[in-house]
Amino acid sequence: MPEYDLAFSPNASNEAGFYKLVELTPDLTSLIENAIKNDEDLRLCIKGQSNEDAVICTADKTFGMRSIGLSNTILVVTPVPDNCSAELAEDAVVIRDQLNEVIELVPAVAKLQKLSVLIRDRQYDEGNEEEVEEHDGTVRFTYDEAKSEIQASDAELDKGLRDRRILIINNELRPIAPDYLNRLLELFLNLLVSLSMKHASASVERLSSALAENHEVSRVVSTQIMSWFGEIKDGKWTMDVDAVVKELGLGILRNHRHEPIEKDQLLTQWKTQVGDTFEDTLSLYLLAGNYIEVESLGVHEAPLKYFPASLLPVDPAARFSDLFLTRSKWKVEDLVPFLSDIAVNSKERDKLLLKYCRAVTDSHGIRYTARAQYNG
């Protein structure tokens, strides 16, 4: 067994805490090994402000970083640096640091919540589409800044912008007004009929031109909306029918945050908006996670009230607290849609249910109720 002379680095006091040991997940290990094997560039980015827990991002995933204490000290050693004493043998090793912890990486949900705060004063709406004057004091937040500051991979950020209906105009992020978006979607559906185009292969140029000439809708805006609600390829738009129908349904629900709406009334208005072509697509399943049923005695079919998961706290304890303050008992199929944005996968979601909920059986079947307290 080989033997080595050990010595402390002359810079040991300055280098203390300089090194960190990171335990890779199987996915990250494979990603790095494949990049080395195929001689590909690999970019791993650590993100987080001083008041945030750091995350590490690949091109399409986010991992939380947490410190785990080690029972044994690990020494970081290197060959003898040039500035070390000449008295050391050539095959000696120098102790550079001592580690008592390892950074564990765990899959995490992208932290996109800051977006809504940073761009809330820059809403893009009919009548205020143009740039606000520089002296108005409005703080602009750009796409490049978002990639640097938001704790999410580039792919997750792009998906988050689509899901939150945030436009990129001259590199600036601007959320589109929900009512204006619904109006534009109705225009898209009307144009498909008037221009005799199929929703599975509509001309992007003809649609964007018609919106620009007849309704003064910027081509930058219309093409981004098409990309949100379908796929653009070779100048053709394949519309995602479910996504368009869902957004129009949400437009109706948003008007019923306080006063509930009867299901039949919702479906009637919804059918009117989507037209005969797509009325068979209508389903309350599309709106899951955006409403609750207002239960009351003697009512055969409970009316619906707008209650979006996107406006609930992202901290799991606070999220469950709000859910159980709203309703004391939940059916699992009603509760699960409100957890999809705070759980990485179904396994993590089930862990949250076990931690914060108690399953009880009553005359209506299995329901979830709150545990006695919420510990973070």
What is residue 125's predicted lDDT score, i.e. its pLDDT?
A: 92
What is the residue type of 95? I
How high is the mean pLDDT of the chain? 89
Task: Give domain status of residue 253, yes or no.
Answer: no
Both 56 and 133 in one domain: the answer is no
What is the average per-residue pLDDT within 227-233? 97
- By mean pLDDT, which of 24-33, 221-230, 248-257 is the weakest? 24-33
Task: Give domain status of residue 236, yes or no.
Answer: no
What is residue 295's predicted lDDT score, i.e. its pLDDT?
A: 77
Compute the distance between CA of residue 16 and CA of residue 74 in angstroms, rounded to an integer. 13
The upper half-sphere exposure of residue 134, i.e. CA atoms within 13 Å in the direction of its Cβ, equals 0
Compute the distance between CA of residue 31 and CA of residue 115 in angstroms, rounded to an integer. 29
| 132 vs 232: which has the higher pLDDT | 232
With contact defined as beta carbons under 8 Å apart, do 315 and 376 qualify?
A: yes
Both 17 and 101 in one domain: the answer is yes
Question: What domain range is 96 assigned to?
Answer: 6-107
Comparing CA positions, the residue from 345, 313, 318 lying closest to residue 336 is: 345
Task: Give domain status of residue 51, yes or no.
Answer: yes
Over the range 218-255, which residues count as b (16 or more CB within 10 Å of their CB) and which as e? beebbbbbbebbbeeeeebbbbbbeebbbbbbbbbbee
Both 19 and 98 in one domain: the answer is yes
With contact defined as beta carbons under 8 Å apart, do 122 and 174 qualify?
A: yes
Both 72 and 156 in one domain: the answer is no
Q: Which residues are CB-neighbours of 371 under 8 A, at least 6 positions away? A: 355, 356, 357, 358
Last residue of one domain, picked from the residues 167, 184, 209: 209
48: left (phi over 0), alpha (psi -120 to 50) or beta: left
Task: Give domain status of residue 249, yes or no.
Answer: no
Burial of residue 171, with CB atoms counted within 10 A of its CB: 0-12 exposed, 13-18 middle, 19 or more buried = exposed
Compute the distance between CA of residue 280 and CA of residue 277 in angstroms, rounded to an integer. 8
Radius of gyration of the chain (CA): 27
Both 77 and 154 in one domain: the answer is no
The helix/strand/coil state of 179 is helix
Please report, rounded to a whole number, the percentage of residues in the chain having pLDDT higher than 90.
71
Comparing CA positions, the residue from 143, 132, 136, 146 lying closest to residue 167 is: 143
What is the average per-residue pLDDT within 246-261? 95
User: For 158-188, what is each residue's pLDDT tens digit?
Assistant: 999 999 999 999 999 999 999 999 999 999 9
Q: Where are the alpha helices (DSSP H) in the chain?
A: 12-15, 26-37, 114-118, 143-149, 154-163, 178-194, 204-215, 219-228, 241-253, 263-274, 316-326, 332-335, 346-356
pLDDT at 271 over 80: yes
Last residue of one domain, picked from the residues 176, 209, 242: 209
Task: Give domain status of residue 83, yes or no.
Answer: yes
Joined together, the tokens standing for residue 231 give 């796929």
β-strand pairing of 22-23 with 93-107: parallel
With contact defined as beta carbons under 8 Å apart, do 123 and 177 qualify?
A: yes
Joined together, the tokens standing for residue 71 give 């029972």
Residue 209: band (very low, low, confident or very high) from pLDDT cuts 50, 70, 90? very high
What is residue 253's predicted lDDT score, i.e. its pLDDT?
A: 96
Which residue bears the tokens 């601007």? 174
Question: Would you tell me how many other CB atoms lie within 10 Å of the CB of residue 193?
Answer: 12
Compute the distance between CA of residue 28 and CA of residue 159 in angstroms, rounded to an integer. 21
Number of structural domains (the chain) is 3
Residue 376: band (very low, low, confident or very high) from pLDDT cuts 50, 70, 90? very low
The helix/strand/coil state of 20 is coil
Last residue of one domain, picked from the residues 209, 244, 261: 209
Task: Give domain status of residue 242, yes or no.
Answer: no
- Please state the φ and ψ torsions of residue 213, each to the nearest 5 degrees: -80, -40
Task: Give domain status of residue 307, yes or no.
Answer: no
Integer angstrom CA distances of residue 352 from 80, 95, 172, 342? 50, 43, 36, 9
Task: Give domain status of residue 344, yes or no.
Answer: yes
Both 95 and 135 in one domain: the answer is no
Alpha carbon 233 to chain centroid distance? Answer: 25
Q: Which residues are CB-neighbours of 218 under 8 A, at least 6 positions away? A: 129, 169, 212
What is the average per-residue pLDDT within 308-325? 94
Q: What is the CATH number of the domain that holds 375?
A: 1.10.10
Residue 90: band (very low, low, confident or very high) from pLDDT cuts 50, 70, 90? low
Both 159 and 201 in one domain: the answer is yes
Both 184 and 102 in one domain: the answer is no
What is residue 96's predicted lDDT score, i.e. its pLDDT?
A: 82
Both 17 and 54 in one domain: the answer is yes
Both 88 and 120 in one domain: the answer is no
pLDDT at 235 over 50: yes
Both 103 and 124 in one domain: the answer is no
Both 50 and 96 in one domain: the answer is yes
What is residue 139's predicted lDDT score, i.e. its pLDDT?
A: 75
